[in-house]
Amino acid sequence: MKTKTTLLTFFTILLLLLNFEGLKSQEQIAVIQEPFVILIDPADGTIVDNSFIDMTAQSQATPKGIIQVGDEIWISDQIEDKIFRYDLDGVFVSEIATGLDNIKGMAVINDTEVWVTNAGSNNGAPGDAIIRFDTAGTNLGFFPTTGSSFDIIDTGTEVYISYIGTTTRIERRDYAGTVLDNIVEESVVTFIQQIEINEANNSVYAAVFSSSGANTSGLYEFSIADGSILNYYNEGALRGVAILDDGNVLISSGNTISLLNTTTNTSSIISSGGASHYFSRVSLTPCVTPPTPTGDAAQTFDEGATLADIVVNPTTVTWYATEMDALNNTNPLDNTTLLVDGTTYYAVNFDGGCPSEPFAVTVTVNCIPAATPTGDATQTFDVGATLADVVVTPTVVIWYATEADALSMSNPLPLTTLLENGENYFAVNDMNDCPSEPFEVTIIIEALGVNDFNSAKLAIYPNPMTTNVTVSCKTEIQHIIITNVLGQVVLTKQLNSNQVVLDVSGLSNGLYLLTANASGKQITAKIVKE
């Protein structure tokens, strides 16, 4: 008889444990009631576990917000300025204890980041701001806020933020942190703590802690469309709010957690004890890895394409620059990131905060060629002209001696290259490192020294010169000056003669300007010393 009783007791306990584990594996509503986290059945509000997490060992002061981040439960402590991290069995893992001050609500945003409300500047914190973390707990920076923010929720497309004090409102921001507008304007109520979306009514519930004028504390339901008050429940100074599956609402106030029947407008206490704060839905089943994204591992795009242009399935993935970042969910890239030729990017599919294996895509980016230079295909110059003298549009081009060099962009010529008679030169417009087709220019050099020069019949030879240069004119030359390209006089000669031989052996090789005064005229010509 004793054996039968013992077996019956064993199987009864086993059945209860199996039932409890079955409940744990389902989605639960977790709520803070110091020093514990309580689990509540989201179907009807019954308590499943009244001590799922005991925060006593962490010396909690005012634990406020609670969320699930992947396979962890994060709890913010407003006074301790810390985020406590627990595994899905409620075992303490670690804490985030720097850069935070006066923190309250938190939310996982776009399945890739955690945003935390912050209102102080101690511990290196940024003051009134939303601080961003990746899901591994790495600080990603912050967005400043106007006033003290209190709670955050992700709607699936954007973010709602509640505020307290003189700036009490419910604000909308996009995932980049840019303010869009307000759902509830300032001065309508005072001190909004936790907020919760009621999708069935296109509305948002707000737990209001303080009174302001005619609007007292309690639970408010605001229209998302225009911010009007749809319902009000006089439940006193509230902190937390959560909607049950049956449409009724859980609220926390002081040391109690209550169930509000939204049909009868009556509430009943379901738990009392320590200070009660925020609610959050959690799934205590470890992450199930979602399918890895699929698509072509090599994809080609035109210049200007972004990550948003890469084709993968599903289309809503998070991109990373390295496989390590993808595996650790660190440094996610914005979808507007410009693709870089030859780069490999990594896509991760998130489902319920659980990441897939990364999928690698290597991109080829075809640049859009710059406009081909334009100008006269045949251009005439004096001896001594250089590539800098050739006229093309745009003026900033790269010159090459052969078409093959221009096409391969090898052996570019300096702009000081002396033009040679009858030679062809090729100009390439290389704007944004995407070269144009080459433009060919044929050069004609009018030799000096063998033909008459202007109306004064001035001749200069040889040109180019080495040691001496002869300058002659049919009329008398009074004065000759030679200057370098910087305008400095390097040689001067006074004479009254039709011809002179100048010693230029002391000049450095390069381009010079020779100016002669003859018959009352001043004539300038380019000469080259070799």
Residue 408 three-state SS = helix
Residues 437 and 332 in one domain: no
- 75 neighbors 58 (Cβ within 8 angstroms): no
Find all residues with CB under 8 Å of 111, minimum gap 6, and list them.
318, 350, 352, 353
Residues 60 and 139 in one domain: yes
The answer to whether residue 101 is domain-embedded is yes
Residue 370 has a CB neighbour count (10 Å cut-off) of 18
Q: What is the reported pLDDT for 247?
A: 93
Residues 188 and 319 in one domain: no
Q: Which amino acid is at 477?
A: I
Q: Where a domain ends, among 340, 366, 392?
A: 366
Residues 319 and 412 in one domain: no
Q: Where a domain ends, among 415, 446, 477?
A: 446
Segment 10-14 mean pLDDT: 40
The answer to whether residue 453 is domain-embedded is no
Residues 145 and 255 in one domain: yes
Tokens of 326: 């993808």
The answer to whether residue 201 is domain-embedded is yes
What would the DSSP string read from start to end of 224-257? TTT--EEEEE---S--EEEE-TTS-EEEEETTEE
Q: What is the reported pLDDT for 87?
A: 95
The torsion angles phi and psi of 258, rounded to 5 degrees, stand at: -125, 160
Residue 312 has pLDDT above 60, yes or no: yes
Among 153, 167, 239, CA closest to 203: 153
Cα–Cα distances in Å, from 357 out to 114, 290, 301, 317, 330? 21, 8, 25, 12, 14
Q: What is the reported pLDDT for 240?
A: 97
- Higher local confidence (pLDDT), 43 or 9: 43
Residues 206 and 256 in one domain: yes
Residues 130 and 278 in one domain: yes
Q: What is the reported pLDDT for 182?
A: 97
398-417 pLDDT tens trace = 999 999 999 999 999 999 99
Q: How confident is the model at residue 230 (pLDDT cuts 50, 70, 90)?
A: very high
Segment 89-109 mean pLDDT: 96
- CATH of residue 437's domain is 2.60.40
Residues 241 and 339 in one domain: no
Residues 116 and 200 in one domain: yes
Residues 438 and 473 in one domain: no
402 alpha-carbon distance from chain centroid? 43
Residue 144 three-state SS = strand
Residues 39 and 92 in one domain: yes
- CATH of residue 503's domain is 2.60.40.1220
Residue 71 has pLDDT above 50, yes or no: yes
The answer to whether residue 266 is domain-embedded is yes
The torsion angles phi and psi of 346, rounded to 5 degrees, stand at: -125, 125
- Pairing state between β 27-33 and 36-40: antiparallel
Find all residues with CB under 8 Å of 172, minimum gap 6, and list them.
158, 159, 160, 161, 179, 180, 181, 182, 183
Query: Structure pTM?
Result: 0.59
Ranges 13-17, 79-83, 131-135, 261-265: which has the least confidence: 13-17
321-339 pLDDT tens trace = 999 999 988 889 999 999 9
Residue 4 has pLDDT above 50, yes or no: no
Q: What is the reported pLDDT for 9?
A: 41
Q: What is the reported pLDDT for 8?
A: 40
Segment 224-231 mean pLDDT: 96
The answer to whether residue 290 is domain-embedded is no
The answer to whether residue 40 is domain-embedded is yes
Q: What is the reported pLDDT for 457?
A: 65
Ranges 145-154, 208-217, 320-329, 433-442: which has the least confidence: 208-217
Residue 513 has a CB neighbour count (10 Å cut-off) of 16
Residue 348 bridge partners (DSSP)? 318
Residue 449 has pLDDT above 70, yes or no: no
The answer to whether residue 8 is domain-embedded is no
Tokens of 344: 């490999």
Residue 57 has a CB neighbour count (10 Å cut-off) of 9
The position carrying tokens 């300038």 is 524
Segment 378-389 mean pLDDT: 86
Cα–Cα distances in Å, from 58 out to 82, 85, 93, 185, 353? 10, 10, 11, 38, 26
Residue 169 has pLDDT above 50, yes or no: yes
Residue 74 has pLDDT above 70, yes or no: yes
The torsion angles phi and psi of 204, rounded to 5 degrees, stand at: -135, 130
Residue 149: which H helix or E strand, with range?
A: strand 149-154
Residue 14: which H helix or E strand, with range?
A: helix 2-25
**Number of domains, the chain:** 4
Q: How confident is the model at residue 261 (pLDDT cuts 50, 70, 90)?
A: very high
* Percent residues over pLDDT 90 in the chain: 70
Tokens of 181: 């507008």
Q: What is the reported pLDDT for 398?
A: 95
Q: What is the reported pLDDT for 26?
A: 58
- Higher local confidence (pLDDT), 67 or 431: 67
How many angstroms separate the CA atoms of 163 and 128, rounded? 11
Tell me, what DSSP letter sits at residue 30?
A: E
- Higher local confidence (pLDDT), 451 or 260: 260
- Pairing state between β 129-134 and 266-272: unpaired
Residue 192 has a CB neighbour count (10 Å cut-off) of 27
End-to-end CA distance of the chain: 123
Residue 459 has pLDDT above 90, yes or no: no
How many angstroms separate the CA atoms of 265 and 251, rounded? 13
Domain that holds residue 310: 298-366
Q: How confident is the model at residue 20 (pLDDT cuts 50, 70, 90)?
A: very low
Residue 519 has a CB neighbour count (10 Å cut-off) of 16
Q: Where a domain ends, among 425, 446, 467?
A: 446
> CA-based Rg of the chain, rounded to a whole angstrom?
40
Q: What is the reported pLDDT for 25?
A: 41
How many angstroms separate the CA atoms of 492 and 482, rounded? 6
The torsion angles phi and psi of 42, rounded to 5 degrees, stand at: -70, -10
Among 349, 288, 330, 352, CA closest to 67: 352
The answer to whether residue 229 is domain-embedded is yes
Residues 216 and 335 in one domain: no
